[in-house]
Amino acid sequence: MRVEKTALEGVLLLEPRRFGDVRGFFSESWNARVMAENGIEIAFVQDNHSLSAKAGTVRGLHYQAPPHAQAKLVRCGRGRLYDVAVDIRDGSPTFGHWVGYELSFENGLQLLVPEGFAHGFVTLEEDTEIVYKCSDFYAPESDRGIRWDDPEIGIDWPWTGEALLSDKDAAAPALGEVERVFSYGGGA
């Protein structure tokens, strides 16, 4: 497993090794012992899987407020997507900054999004599947959203066509309008 730091402290890009043979490949997508050797100890409790039928489908930006904050380990099961994490920790030197990476079935890359970050993605191909592990259970009362195209954040989405969003995401507030529920250094 190759572990690469990103411009946002705590957000990591992971590249699991793929063992190819005549049948295809084998890969460990999560290994708690290997990750602990890399200083990452997260007790994941829920795995999620969603399919987006159309390219240009946007889901996000989402997070759960404490006490149900979630770290997420995200990968693409089929197709191609652009995955984004935004630092929303009050007092963070990188508050409002974002990083984005293309995750695809082909490249096998994974993004680790810690607590204190909003997460979202746009699909770049039809029938794209995302698969991710979460460190806390779904808690609808703690579910929060931020506008995917908030100009204050200024994410450079690699999608110029029309975006397909849920009604909830289309009505999401800007970063400047949401309560700051995470604080930098103070934990979640």
Binding site for ligand TDO (CB under 6 A): 48, 50, 59-60, 62, 72, 119-121, 138, 166, 168
Query: Is 119 part of the annotated catalytic residue set?
Result: no
In angstroms, give the least distance from the CB of 55 to ligand TDO. 16
Q: Are 86 and 148 in contact (CB under 8 A)?
A: no
Structure-token pair, residue 63: 């997070």
Structure-token pair, residue 102: 């293309």
Residue nearest to ligand TDO (CB): 138
Sheet containing 12-15: give its strands across.
2-5, 12-15, 110-113, 72-78, 128-134, 46-52
In the Cβ-directed half-sphere of 179, how many Cα atoms lie within 13 Å? 7
Q: Which is nearer to ligand TDO, 34 or 65 (CB)?
A: 65
The single residue of 49, 62, 119, 184 carrying the catalytic annotation is 62
DSSP 168: H
Structure-token pair, residue 136: 């806390």
In angstroms, give the least distance from the CB of 129 to ligand TDO. 11
The single residue of 63, 82, 101, 132 carrying the catalytic annotation is 132
- Rounded Cα–Cα distance for residues 76 and 5 (Å): 19
Q: Which is nearer to ligand TDO, 40 or 119 (CB)?
A: 119
Q: Which is nearer to ligand TDO, 92 or 120 (CB)?
A: 120
Query: Is 62 part of the annotated catalytic residue set?
Result: yes
Bridge partners (DSSP) of residue 16 are none
In angstroms, give the least distance from the CB of 145 to ligand TDO. 8
In angstroms, give the least distance from the CB of 25 to ligand TDO. 26
Q: Which is nearer to ligand TDO, 25 or 137 (CB)?
A: 137
DSSP 42: -
Distinct helix (H) and strand (E) counts, the chain: 2, 15
Active site positions, annotated: 62, 132
